[in-house]
Amino acid sequence: MTTATNIVVEREGRVQRLRAASVPYLLLLPAVIALAAVSLYPTLDGIRASLHRFRYGLDMGFTGGDNFTAVYNDPVFWQAIGTTALFVAFVVSIETLLGLLLALLVARELRFAGLIRVALILPMTIAPVVVGVIWRLLYASDIGVVDPLFQALGLGAPHVLAHPLSAFLGLVTVDVWEWTPLLFLIILAGLQSMPQDPLEAARVDGASALQTFFHHTLPLLRPVLLVAVVLRTIDAVGTFDQIFVLTKGGPGVSTQLISIYAYNTAFLFNQYGRAMAMLIGVLVVLILLMVAAVRLMRRSSQVIE
């Protein structure tokens, strides 16, 4: 009798423990399902599409690695990758530098600091397509303001969007204008949450402002900077709207980032499989970069600790 009761109690206890253990998973389930539906399924379907050939709008079936081979042998793809890398390198480094300078400026108790902060954040709040339209109107060689401004200064009209180099730099300018506020905000948050003791100690020890910045502020800020750079790099690789509105990748292919080329390949040339192969290639490279960045972050955090 006692044994039987013990068995029942033990079984009930096990069921209760199982129930208790499964609650967190059950609570997580809706989120997991939602995430799988909006993120995992499209990714898996994209991988499937990259292994198929599409013709006349139809899926013609499994084609193995043909799309990847075609992408690998496509010179325009490599050109787009090169342009993307150059674009990302330019915008991320300029935006980080400017964001840091602005954050250092605003972090101090300046007059109108709040107003300055709001003004600096404004460009980021505008939709990228609208940003593209605004800058297209500024750059346009017939009705824009940039050309007349140069002419008023006694310089020749640059016709920004009509030449490969100026169009590329014009797009970098737009991106810097729009996204420096993001870097500024992240870095500002980092500066404001920074421990003040080491800085004060350095000042007491007679360190100059520059010495304090390079030997204390910057090392303490490194993890925040890395997060900011990683986030901005991922975002910059996918830049699309402004370029689509401003240049559509031209003149020639001078501003054709991988996002524009993949979009054209999918929706203009109807090569869905090839477009997916391109994007999966980019995704793999990005993941590798991110893994490296996270490791770097961990290592730098350990050094600081």
Partner 1 sequence: MSDKTKNTGKSKLLKRRIRRRDFIKGGIAGSALLAGSGIFAPRIIRADTPSITIGSFQDNAMVPFHEYFIKEFTTKTGIAVNYNETNYDTWYQNCKNDGLNKTGAYDIYVMDDNWVPEFAAGKIVQSLDQLGFKANPDILPAGLEMGLWPPKSGARMKDFANDKPELYSIVIIDDVEILYYNKDFFPTAPVTWDDIYNVAKTTKAPDMYGWSPRGVKGNPIMMTYLPLLNSYGGNFVNPDWTPGFAGPEGVGALSRLFSFIPYMPDGVAEYDTDQEVQLMLEGKCTALTEYTGLAQRVDDPSSSKVVGKINMAATPKQVKSGPAIGTFIASVSSGAKNPQGAVQFLEWFTSSETQLEFARKYGGAAVTGSALSDPEAVQKHRWLPAIADAVNNSVEKPRTPDEPKMEDILGTALNEALVEAIAAKANYDAIAQKHLSAAADQITAYLKQQGGYF
Structure tokens at 34: 């939602």
Q: What is the length of the chain?
A: 305
Tell me: does residue 141 bind partner 1 (CB under 8 A).
Answer: yes
Q: Binding to partner 1 by residue 223, rule CB under 8 A?
A: no
Please select the residue that binds partner 1; options are 64, 252, 291, 304, rule is CB under 8 A: 252
Count of residues binding partner 1 (CB under 8 A)?
29
Binding residue for partner 1, selected from 104, 134, 140, 227, defined by CB under 8 A: 140
- Binding of residue 161 to partner 1 (CB under 8 A): yes
Instruction: Compute the least distance from the CB of residue 274 to partner 1, in Å.
Output: 10
233 near partner 1, judged by CB under 8 A: no
Q: Which two tokens stand for residue 244?
A: 């689509």
Candidate ranges 29-37, 226-234, 251-259, 288-296; the one touching partner 1 (CB under 8 A): 251-259
Q: Are 95 and 176 in contact (CB under 8 A)?
A: yes
State both tokens at 238.
């996918």
Under the criterion CB under 8 A, does residue 157 sit at the interface with partner 1? Answer: yes
Instruction: Please name every residue paired with 58 in a beta bridge, in sequence order, or none if there are none.
Output: 55
Indicate which single residue of 52, 117, 163, 222 sits in contact with partner 1 (rule: CB under 8 A): 163
User: CB of residue 244 vs partner 1: minimum separation in angstroms?
Assistant: 10
Cβ proximity to partner 1, 136 vs 216, nearer residue:
136
Q: State yes or no: residue 295 binds partner 1 (CB under 8 A).
A: no
Full DSSP string of the chain: -HHHHHHHHHHHHHHHHHHHHHHHHHHHHHHHHHHIIIIIHHHHHHHHHHTEEEETTEEEEE-TTHHHHHHHT-HHHHHHHHHHHHHHHHHHHHHHHHHHHHHHHHHS--TTHHHHHHHHHHHHHS-HHHHHHHHHHHH-TTT-SHHHHHHHTTPPP--GGGSHHHHHHHHHHHHHHHHHHHHHHHHHHHHHTS-SHHHHHHHHTT--HHHHIIIIIHHHHHHHHHHHHHHHHHHHHT--HHHHHHTTT-STTTT--HHHHHHIIIIIS--HHHHHHHHHHHHHHHHHHHHHHHHHHHHHHHHH-
151 binds partner 1 (CB under 8 A): no
Q: Which of these segments, 90-98, 134-142, 208-216, 225-233, binds partner 1 (CB under 8 A)?
A: 134-142
Q: How far is the CB of 47 from partner 1 (least distance, A)?
A: 21
Binding mask 261-280 vs partner 1 (x if CB under 8 A, - otherwise)? Answer: ---x--xxxxx---------
> For partner 1, which is the closer residue by CB, 107 or 157?
157
Nearer to partner 1, 71 or 202 (CB): 71
Among 58, 122, 127, 210, binds partner 1 (CB under 8 A): 58
Out of 14, 17, 48, 55, which residue is the one contacting partner 1 (CB under 8 A)? 55
Which helix (H) or strand (E) segment holds residue 54: the answer is strand 52-55
Structure token pair of residue 248: 């559509």
Asked if 79 interacts with partner 1 (CB under 8 A), we say no
Q: How far is the CB of 276 from partner 1 (least distance, A)?
A: 16
Residues near partner 1, by CB under 8 A: 55-58, 70, 140-142, 147, 157, 159, 161-164, 167, 247-253, 264, 267-271
